[in-house]
Structure 1
Amino acid sequence: MSNHNEPTSSEGRPGPHKSKRPLFFISGEDFYFVAYSILLVLEYLGGTARRVKDHRKIAYLIQFLGDPRLIDLLERTNGAKVANPVDRELLFSSYANAELHKREVFKIIFSMERRGFLKMQRTDNAQILDISLTNNQIPQSFFSNDAFSEEKANAERLKKLLPRLSMLTFDTLLERLYQDRGVRVWAS
């Protein structure tokens, strides 16, 4: 039964953040979770323009925005390799999950752009898009909702660890999040 204080979607479904969970697979309900997460990445990690250069970064940033254990790990290992096997597995799992969901994130970005929530801008590379929030479609009260307080706190911590996060290249982001900590990556 739904709690009357629980955030809901426009169809009356429970909002994605009542039962916070890492994104392991995509089901029908997870599309809402991914859509909310994309909006939160752009709002909280997109800088003053609420934009992320290179849409491919969003799948990885969703992982960190939604899991404070990953932020804790980054803070503890800043400038060092991950020695603890449990931490290494957590970090690798976040990478693998992001890789698994890049296509779904891309499809949802296109869907949200068609609905007017996002703006896509082509770059010099035809396969890479810069993504930004539109100013008129999402009420600011959406982002000030207490349901997103953990994601907002995670974003603030992540921005301190990786200044100018929204402007980092895709390769630099992967290097700072994973490779600098000893996790091998294969993304392209």
Structure 2
Amino acid sequence: MKNNTEQSPADGSRGPHKNKRPLFFISGEDFYFVAYSILLVLQYLGGSARRVKDHRKIAYLIQFLGDSRLIDLLERTQGVGVANAIDRELLFSSYTSAELHKREVFKIIFSMERRGFLRMQRTDSPEMLDITLISDGVPQGFFESDSFTDERANAEKLRKLVPRLSLLTFESLLDRLYKDRGVRVWAS
């Protein structure tokens, strides 16, 4: 998501999208950012059912949805891999950031289910959950906000570059985003 240096109001409150910034770390105020990002992933990358099979993918998809540099990198390296160290570092940094934030994303998913924003479904594998957006739980007009213009554009490009994102296995997603481009990753 794009960086916005707009100051918060004097009372310290923050509107839902006033200070969008990349997910570099988690602090108390970043939980809202992560929650919005989860909703955006489900809406824009969850296929027609607004569902992502295997919740572990969401932390990685958040990285790409929120950073057009990563989308541009995917476009440039389609079928050829990453050629320079700067691109490789950017891609690896997105991977490590997603790895660091998987637990927080998981906790927020549970909280969002309790609040009626999404539904979790257990799978045959105990470490995986399928996540579905509950559209009625999201305020009307939320996804049409001008604040999400960049994320909508990134999602559209990402869907073209990596078809059937919502249905890919976790391992296949990591292959398509990282390993196929020559970035070594570990799955956890």
Q: Is the 8 A contact 2:20 2:33 kept in 1?
A: no
Deviation at 1:13, TM superposition (A): 1.7
Match of 1:146 in 2: 146
Match of 1:38 in 2: 38
- Asked whether 1:14 is paired with 2:15, we answer yes
Give SS of 2:157's match.
helix
Give SS of 1:72's match.
helix
Match of 2:3 in 1: none
Identity value in percent: 76
Match of 1:29 in 2: 29
Match of 1:168 in 2: 168
> Which range moved further: 137-146 or 157-166?
137-146
Which amino acid letter does the alignment assign opposite residue 45 of structure 1? Answer: L
Q: Distance in 2 between matches of 1:175 and 1:51?
A: 20
Q: Distance in 2 between matches of 1:125 and 1:40?
A: 25
Give the gaps of 5 or more residues in structure 2. Answer: 1-6
Q: Distance in 2 between matches of 1:30 and 1:187?
A: 25
Aligned residues: 180
Deviation at 1:108, TM superposition (A): 0.2
Q: Distance in 1 between matches of 2:19 and 2:140?
A: 23
Q: Distance in 2 between matches of 1:169 and 1:144?
A: 29
Task: Provide TM-score, normalisation by structure 2.
Answer: 0.92
Deviation at 1:2, TM superposition (A): 4.2
Which amino acid letter does the alignment assign opposite residue 22 of structure 2? Answer: P
Task: Provide TM-score, normalisation by structure 1.
Answer: 0.92
Q: Distance in 2 between matches of 1:125 and 1:90?
A: 32
Change (3 A) 1:140 1:164: farther
